Amino acid sequence: MYSEDELRELISGMTDDDGNELMLYSKEQVDQGGNIANLLLSTATIDPEDCKDIATAGLLDTVESGEIAVALSEGDQPRTLSAQSGSEGPDAVEVLDEISGKMDQCANFSVQALGQTYEVTSEEVQADTDAEKTFATLSSRSGENQQKLMQVSAAEGTLLVVATKSGANLGDPDQKELEDLINEVLEKADGGSATSSPTSTSTSGSTSTSSPSGSASPSETESEPEESEMSSPSPTASS
């Protein structure tokens, strides 16, 4: 299991495709909800209730017995990026398996939040990340501002990483952006301990094949250009 500080380290320093930084929320802000609650519907009433997992990408059920870190970018199309790790209950892959199994009955559900009720139509989209399991949905909200919410969730061991983007029109480029954000988090997690030290060697048996040298030795820290991105102040442009 990851500590909250490790999770915060994993999602820190990210920027969205518009160049906005995804700002880390403090533990107090996460507890209070605020913007996050509005975006991730964590304080909403969902009908059928079973579809709450679809609406929140599994964020609620596991966090109560674990740790979470959340980052949010402001703009016309806000993004959220969260990482959570549970100490009890099923691991992240089982959580996503259970959620994806509810898609058939949750193609349509209603949400009551902030004094408003609206209908949500949700469909699964075929996203792909470097995680053991990936599950993604695109939801459309009824009403005047036909807001859409794209959500990509990725499970690796006890780590669940969720990226969302909301806006009027969302498609493949937006899905790619969310996948890239998640893969960046997974790459950090795969680099060993989630500390700010870019030279820490991995002892956890990395399965990443991103090292251009093709070397199987985890002790060769000099030939790992990916690691230095964590401490670089310049944004890494991934296209």
Residues 83 and 67: their CA atoms lie apart, in Å, by: 8
Per-residue pLDDT of the chain (239 residues; tens, 9 = 90+): 889 899 999 999 999 999 999 999 876 766 655 445 454 555 678 899 888 878 776 554 444 557 888 898 888 888 989 998 877 767 889 888 988 999 999 999 998 877 788 899 999 999 999 999 999 999 998 876 678 889 999 999 999 999 999 888 899 999 999 999 999 999 999 884 444 434 333 344 444 444 444 444 444 444 444 443 433 344 444 43
The separation between CA 163 and the C-alpha centre of its own chain, rounded to angstroms, equals 3
Q: Are 164 and 122 in contact (CB under 8 A)?
A: no
DSSP assignments along 1-39, one per residue = ---HHHHHHHHTT-B-TTS-B-EEPPHHHHHH-THHHHH
What is this structure's pTM?
0.73
